[in-house]
Amino acid sequence: MEPTQVIRRNESGAPLAYSQVPPPRPPGNRMPPPGNRVPPQGNRGPIREPAPTGYAPTQRPEPFPDAPRRADVPPRTPPPPPPGKRRGGGDRPPRGSRPRKKRHWFRWILSLLLVLLLLPIAAAIYVDTHLTRIDALANYQGRVGDTPGTNWLLVGSDSRAGLTKEQEAQLSTGDASDVEGERTDTIILVHIPKSGRPTLVSMPRDSYVSIPGVGKDKLNAAFAVGGANLLVKTVEGATGVHIDHYAQIGFGGFANIVDAVGGIQMCLDSPMNDPLAGINLPAGCQTLSGPEALGFVRSRATPRADLDRMLNQRKFLSALLKKAASPSTLANPFRSWPLVRDLTAALKVDNGAHIWNLATLGRALNDNPIATTVPVGGFEDVSGSGNVLLWDKTKASAFFDALAKDQQLPQDLITTVGS
């Protein structure tokens, strides 16, 4: 292709020179070849006409240098997505982006199990270290030898120790200054066999027995004269049964224990009104408070006096043990702790008794025991002792001989409740 001549003119319109214009560039080559560039206008010297050449090589543009970044300007990052929105849309966060919740519930359950495990242990240690121990089972010459099974002597004392005048009036115990010595309203022999059902034997306090060093008198007189030690000697001599453990509770402690468990429900076949015991209870089922319960187990204002009182004591003791061992009591710290505290303060045991022995006794009393009384022969007025209760010598001998040999009681010797 022949080159085309182009006339170039200056600002005034005069021709400057002729130059050869290169043929059209191929597509994509937008810049003129280096040899055919038009020099800048102005007073920069004469224009030189470049020598004719062929196609110019493709010119590569130089890269534009990046502007220096400020050191204090952090690099731009894309803004986080709004809460509750997924990056790709939707309301739920993508899988794996939600933080895992800590399983605090496992720690709470573990802590609760530890507390439930440690509380009974702590309570057992507290009771065992705070029990009041007395010398009730001192050895003496001619003592009955050890017999099979385990035998407890439970005593309800009329001790007013620790009671104020107001508490004595509330419990209707009378003035402590009017009472000589310490007496007992309740004497129960508990036989726990190696196998089989335990036996609860109510021993009337007016039983006419031989008291070592005193002579023939009411069983209650042994406790009034020589306390627990002489009472144990008297019971062992009268029954031929070896006593392994002894437990005693007083008026105030008994009432506090009943109140600690929230009262005891009892069902009365007939009304019971006894001003001396401080009670006036209607017939029917009702919940007895501590003072009412104490009056109930002490009252002899019934047709059979002491015999009915022994039956009431056994029924009430069974109901009290069931309530104390129920889950509603043990799982409630507002009941279980006062129960442990008041029981520890009110209970007196022999020197060899520990919390595990008391636990065995509690299980035996709550394990559907055989509740009976000493075979009774009748009543008699004795000079110096008043009206006393006589045992049936033949039946009583067979009765206690079976217990001493850890044998089952004959059915004809068992006096059931209500008989």
- 344-389 pLDDT, tens digit each: 888 899 999 998 898 888 888 877 888 888 998 888 998 888 889 9
For residue 68, the model assigns a pLDDT of 56
pLDDT at residue 419 is higher than 50: no
pLDDT at residue 214 is higher than 80: yes
pLDDT at residue 50 is higher than 50: yes
**Domain-located, residue 1:** no
**Domain-located, residue 60:** no
What gap in Å lies between CA 109 and CA 127, rounded to an integer? 28
Mean model confidence pLDDT for the chain: 77
For residue 331, the model assigns a pLDDT of 76
For residue 418, the model assigns a pLDDT of 44
Q: Residue 15, Cα to own-chain centre: how many angstroms?
A: 117
pLDDT at residue 82 is higher than 80: no
**Domain-located, residue 188:** yes
Between 12-21, 210-219, 389-398, the lowest mean confidence (pLDDT) is in 12-21
- Give the residue numbers spanning the domain of 209: 145-413
For residue 70, the model assigns a pLDDT of 57
For residue 177, the model assigns a pLDDT of 46
What gap in Å lies between CA 264 and CA 262, rounded to an integer? 7
Which has more pLDDT, 61 or 398? Answer: 398
Q: Which two tokens stand for residue 12?
A: 């005034």
Q: Residue 329, Cα to own-chain centre: how many angstroms?
A: 10
CATH of residue 337: 3.40.630.190
**Domain-located, residue 313:** yes
**Number of domains observed in the structure of the chain:** 1
For residue 129, the model assigns a pLDDT of 87
- 149-161 pLDDT, tens digit each: 999 999 988 665 5
What gap in Å lies between CA 307 and CA 86, rounded to an integer? 85
Who's near 392: CB < 8 A, 6+ residues apart? Answer: 375, 376, 377
Q: Please, are residues 247 and 349 in contact by the beta-carbon 8 Å criterion?
A: yes
User: Which residue in the block uniquely carries the two structure tokens 């731009």?
Assistant: 76
pLDDT at residue 274 is higher than 80: yes
For residue 10, the model assigns a pLDDT of 63
| CB contact burial 304-342 (16+ within 10 A = b; e otherwise) | ebbbbbbbbbbbbbbbbbebbeeeebeeeeebbebbbbb
pLDDT at residue 178 is higher than 50: no
For residue 46, the model assigns a pLDDT of 56
- Phi and psi torsions of 209, nearest 5°: -135, 170
pLDDT at residue 94 is higher than 60: no
pLDDT at residue 49 is higher than 70: no
**Domain-located, residue 346:** yes
**Domain-located, residue 134:** no
Q: Which two tokens stand for residue 380?
A: 């008699």
**Domain-located, residue 125:** no
Q: What percent of the chain has pLDDT over 70?
A: 68
Closest CA to 315 of 371, 274, 259: 371
- 29-41 pLDDT, tens digit each: 555 555 555 555 5
**Domain-located, residue 397:** yes
Between 151-155, 309-313, 404-408, the lowest mean confidence (pLDDT) is in 309-313
